[in-house]
Amino acid sequence: MKLLYFTDSHIRGSTPKSRKDNYVETLKEKFKEIIETAKSENIDYVLFGGDLFDRPDLSLSIVNEFIIYLKELPLPIYCVLGNHDIFGQNPSTATRTVLGILDTLGIVKLINYNEIIYLQRNNIKIQLTGCPYYYNIDTSPEREGYIVNEKKNCNFSIHIVHGMLLDRPFIKGIPHTLIDEIADKTFADITLCGHYHTGFGIKKINEKYFVNIGSISRVSNTLSEIERTPSYLIIHIDNKIKFDVRNLKCAKNGEDIFDKNILMQEEFKEQKLNEFIQQVNSYGSFEILNIESIIREISIREKIPDDIKNEAIRRIGEAQMLLSSKEGML
């Protein structure tokens, strides 16, 4: 049996800020390549990890442009809902989304939570389950979205999930789940994950595989995204499992699609802001959060001339006025 898996395509009608190419055209090339591969290599089933669309109510003209590719496959793509496919991180809004409509039309097959699907080819039978993204997938005590409780009447079990599964601890304050937390609990032989666009590759723990090969799209201008080549995965299954991660041939060089100057400017801004915050903090904790008082205090300690101090206060006043008039317009 041969399966093809890819994730996080983020279909949208506009080009993300700081990308230099035409995002829609680039993404079409990727779909073409993946669908062509699925057909020419006789892939039995195509699986998808969520975030097919960048928003749940994407304009129908863009949806239409991409359905053409999906419809070329003889079978619907088996997929889970990503956070971008639904409203308010709530999978029960699916019927109101474009992905929900594609499910009704039979162009994709949404795997519902607790649903068990069997995929068969010759003498190989796979138990396929999935879990969509939901608001506390990475904070609930049992992390049940990642756990397959039972494996029966099959050779192997595959679970697709859209959540922040990671191989190592991540930035504090960003909810995530570590492979180590679920590896002993799940019965899935392969856990296919989307959501974390950088991906962590393929990890094997206790004869179980945990996979996130990363998004096929690069939507944010960060160093890791510039250096990453988007890829898809072929899974060969007979009496054992074999993976073949393939870089998309049509994917352009990161340096050619992202503007490194913008990245550097953003980093510079961030750095200056952090310096400013540190500087303010270094004067001790201010009990009063009135910015004018903070400026006055700093200028006394640093012996800053009055005209500079007054200019700073004047500019802050202007900025505050601008902000409040903008808020008034909303």
* Cα–Cα nearest to 55, from 85, 17, 98: 85
Amino acid at 203: K
From the CB of 243, what's the least distance to Mn ion, in Å? 21
From the CB of 128, what's the least distance to Mn ion, in Å? 21
- The piece of 15-23, 30-38, 43-51, 281-289 that touches Mn ion (CB under 5 A) is 43-51
In angstroms, rounded to a whole number, what is the distance separating the alpha carbons of residues 267 and 273? 10
- The piece of 3-11, 71-79, 243-251, 279-287 that touches Mn ion (CB under 5 A) is 3-11
Q: Could you say whether residue 51 binds Mn ion (CB under 5 A)?
A: yes
Q: Could you say whether residue 85 binds Mn ion (CB under 5 A)?
A: no
Among 3, 5, 8, 48, binds Mn ion (CB under 5 A): 8
From the CB of 130, what's the least distance to Mn ion, in Å? 16
- Number of chain residues interacting with Mn ion (CB under 5 A): 2
Phi/psi of residue 309, each to 5°? Answer: -60, -45
From the CB of 82, what's the least distance to Mn ion, in Å? 5
Residues making up the chain, counted from first to last: 330
The burial class, CB within 10 Å (0-12 / 13-18 / 19+), for 286 is middle
What H or E segment, with its residue span, contains residue 162? strand 156-162
From the CB of 99, what's the least distance to Mn ion, in Å? 13
Instruction: Return the ∠ at Cα 293 (arms to 310 and 329), rounded to 5°.
Output: 80
Residue 85 DSSP label = G
Residue 1 vs 70, nearer CB to Mn ion: 70
From the CB of 50, what's the least distance to Mn ion, in Å? 7
Amino acid at 324: S
Q: Could you say whether residue 225 binds Mn ion (CB under 5 A)?
A: no
- The piece of 46-54, 73-81, 286-294, 317-325 that touches Mn ion (CB under 5 A) is 46-54
* Cα–Cα nearest to 178, from 215, 230, 128, 143: 143
Q: What is the largest CA-CA distance in the chain?
A: 84
Residue 133 vs 156, nearer CB to Mn ion: 133
Q: Could you say whether residue 103 binds Mn ion (CB under 5 A)?
A: no
Q: Catalog residues that contact Mn ion under the rule CB under 5 A.
A: 8, 51
